[in-house]
Structure 1
Amino acid sequence: KFVVVVTGNPYLVSNLTVWSGIRAEVKFKLPPIDFSKLGLDKVYVTFYMNDGDNVQWNIMMRDFWEDPYRGKVPVAWTISPFLVDLAPLVMKYYVETMSELDAFVSGPSGAGYWYPNVNPEYTDEFLGLTNEYFKRSGLMFTEVLGEFLDGETLPKYAKELRVLAIKIGYRGMDTFPYYTSESPVPIIPGTIEFSEGEERKAYNWLRAIATVYKRRPLHVLVICVPWEFKSLKSLRLLADMISSDKELMLVNFHEFVIMLNPEYGTKLAEELLKRAKGTGVSKRTLLEAEDCLRVAKKYCEEGRWREASLEANKALRILASSLKLISKED
């Protein structure tokens, strides 16, 4: 049973009895990957749209979804895993019309709006329900509320849900992705927050980040609060500024995560390696990729997640470049 309570909001949810009665078999999918872009000496940027735990936002998201700039800017859209029951046809619409730049992330904090640090005694029960809905919906990323979570909650999320990444907090937090000691699943905070009409301000922040923080690759998640936007035009204007800057690179959220999750990156690299061995890729290239993977696995065993990610990214880039060359020659 569901009780959907909507207060103080102009966007209402109506006809859930009808929507929930129309069945559709569908799962969210991951956007494609351009492996050649991964792990370069760049500041990587992607956009993140908040408030997807709200079912009314999931329904009204169609306004943004049909915006002419959607699909021209990489956006991670938060969405409720409950749509698989409440409005599967709406979920099917988003899945079947997503672009290569769209990705879906479970709204906070999984199966419902919840602060794990406020009710820690319910964590196991909550994650059990969330895991059921993630399996049914196909979601591979989640947001978790609470900027100051204890050292047990985040590893438990990573282990129990088998997600590829955890986005933490609501607003921009002026910080960058990090790891817990127990898990290679990256914890991704919003680095900066962006509102409509503030393209120049946001770009200046990105330039300041690129100037002050010399570590490369560096990953910046740009937070967008949907209630502060009438369209996606501002995102496109900022994206154009980013694209014209040689130090910055736009990627979709899936690509963003691959560069940060060493176990996932290594798994994908091993799949590319198998493909490469059946083509005309040189033995030298194969050995170089295998060496990167060996080092990546060693670092994973030691819990050196960032170093492992760098090696996995290198292997992915080497193999992708070689396979692309073979394809062109064919």
Structure 2
Amino acid sequence: REYVQEHKFDVDLDPDKVYIAFAASDLGLNNMQDFYYEMWLDKRRGEVPINWWLDPIVVDFCPGIVEYYYETKTPNDYFYSAHVGGRIRPSDFPYLEEYLTRGQKYLDMCSLKVVAFSNHNKKDEAVFELYSKLLDVEGFSFGFGPEFIEELWYVDDKVWIVPRFMGDPREAYEAIREYIESSKRRPLFIIIGVGLWHFPKVEDLLEIKEELKKSYGDEILFCRVDELIGAAKAYRSLEGRARGRYRVIWILVLLTLICTLIVLLHFLKTPR
């Protein structure tokens, strides 16, 4: 059977916003049988967008439990893929292409369009290319926390985002505030990893939201990770159009200079 969730990748980009998505994860498989460390049972779930770590191979082990989560999620709950089909270290895995090809059926089964994984602090262009080529997804959350300085890049039409935090949500506000202050670029796209092994409450995330809203007001926009990926894609299109306009302007300037030079040379060669 299939487990269905709706996606919102077609979003209107606000170029002045800081987009933030909470991503709850234990970096393993222990969240299925215990209601995501009981965070799923929180009465305030649904008051803020939360993205939930789901390794789709669990449909082979506990399909009924997976069905429960899909049937009880709110519009603010969104599942993203933990790895593709079991945890590996991609750069060291000799059967990576077969792994990804096999894993696509699990992604399809669970309606997963965003994949999260780590290559254990290693940037490998071959891995980026293969994941982007073989997987029918919209984007990737790469790294378990800020493993790299680079925060955002694109491979073909796929978005790659490095989370700016992973761990105890009580420590997230200061880390994210420092990151926002360190970059004047807008828009920003921030994934906050919420470590489930800290047994967080939804209230913890609401407090982060409140503090960031106090500091930055309407500049902050909390969203699901599919909306964040969609906004990042829209930003790339906006950058492309801007580069296109600059290219046209430079061509026009160059043509104007050439024409001016031709006229000037013609004037100088004309007998007086």
- TM-score tier (shorter): 0.7 to 0.9
Q: Note if 1:39 corresponds to 2:1.
A: no
Task: Please state whether the residue corresponding to 1:78 is helix, strand or coil.
Answer: strand
Cα distance change on mapping 1:71 and 1:192 into 2, 3 Å: same
Q: 2:203 — aligned with what? A: 233
Alignment of 1:190-205 (within 5 A): 190-198=163-171, 202-205=172-175
Deviation of the 1:33 alpha carbon: 7.0
Alignment of 1:74-89 (within 5 A): 74-89=49-64
Contact 1:176 1:191 in 2 (8 A): no
Alignment of 1:67-216 (within 5 A): 67-107=42-82, 109-119=83-93, 121-146=94-119, 147-173=121-147, 175=149, 177-180=151-154, 182-198=155-171, 202-216=172-186
Q: Which string of whole-angstrom CA distances, capped at 9 and with x for unpartnered residues, describes residues 222-277 of structure 1?
A: 111100124222112112222343232211111101012359x98xxxxxxxxxxx
Deviation of the 1:134 alpha carbon: 1.4
Cα distance change on mapping 1:174 and 1:160 into 2, 3 Å: closer
**Aligned with residue 5 of structure 2, among 25, 29, 45:** 29
Mapped to 1, the partners of 2:24 and 2:166 lie a distance apart of 10
Opposite residue 138 of structure 2, the aligned amino acid is L
Structure (1 or 2) with the larger CA radius of gyration: 2
Q: Which string of whole-angstrom CA distances, capped at 9 and with x for unpartnered residues, describes residues 183-232 of structure 1?
A: 2211111112341433xxx3233333333211110111111110012422
Mapped to 2, the partners of 1:74 and 1:122 lie a distance apart of 36
Task: Please state whether the residue corresponding to 1:117 is helix, strand or coil.
Answer: helix
Deviation of the 1:175 alpha carbon: 4.0
- Structure 1 length as normaliser, TM-score? 0.65
Alignment of 1:238-317 (within 5 A): 238-244=208-214, 245-246=216-217, 247-262=219-234, 295=241
Mapped to 1, the partners of 2:50 and 2:106 lie a distance apart of 22
Cα distance change on mapping 1:179 and 1:58 into 2, 3 Å: same
Contact 1:27 1:137 in 2 (8 A): yes
Deviation of the 1:95 alpha carbon: 1.3
Opposite residue 44 of structure 2, the aligned amino acid is Y
Q: Which string of whole-angstrom CA distances, capped at 9 and with x for unpartnered residues, describes residues 52-86 of structure 1?
A: 641x3112125211102221122211111023222
Mapped to 2, the partners of 1:163 and 1:101 lie a distance apart of 20
Opposite residue 212 of structure 2, the aligned amino acid is I
Opposite residue 223 of structure 2, the aligned amino acid is V
Q: 1:304 — aligned with what? A: none
Cα distance change on mapping 1:175 and 1:58 into 2, 3 Å: farther
Cα distance change on mapping 1:234 and 1:155 into 2, 3 Å: same
Task: Please state whether the residue corresponding to 1:104 is helix, strand or coil.
Answer: strand
Contact 2:11 2:230 in 1 (8 A): no
Percentage of pairs with the same residue = 23
Count residues in correspondence. Answer: 241
Contact 1:42 1:218 in 2 (8 A): yes
Contact 1:33 1:255 in 2 (8 A): yes
Q: Which string of whole-angstrom CA distances, capped at 9 and with x for unpartnered residues, describes residues 156-205 of structure 1?
A: 1122111111111113336454224x42211111112341433xxx3233
Task: Please state whether the residue corresponding to 2:193 is helix, strand or coil.
Answer: strand
Deviation of the 1:29 alpha carbon: 1.2
Contact 1:31 1:99 in 2 (8 A): no
Mapped to 1, the partners of 2:41 and 2:7 lie a distance apart of 18
Q: Any gaps of 5 or more consecutive residues in structure 2?
A: 246-272
Q: Which string of whole-angstrom CA distances, capped at 9 and with x for unpartnered residues, describes residues 80-139 of structure 1?
A: 1023222222212211222222111111x21001010122x2111111211121122221
RMSD: 2.9
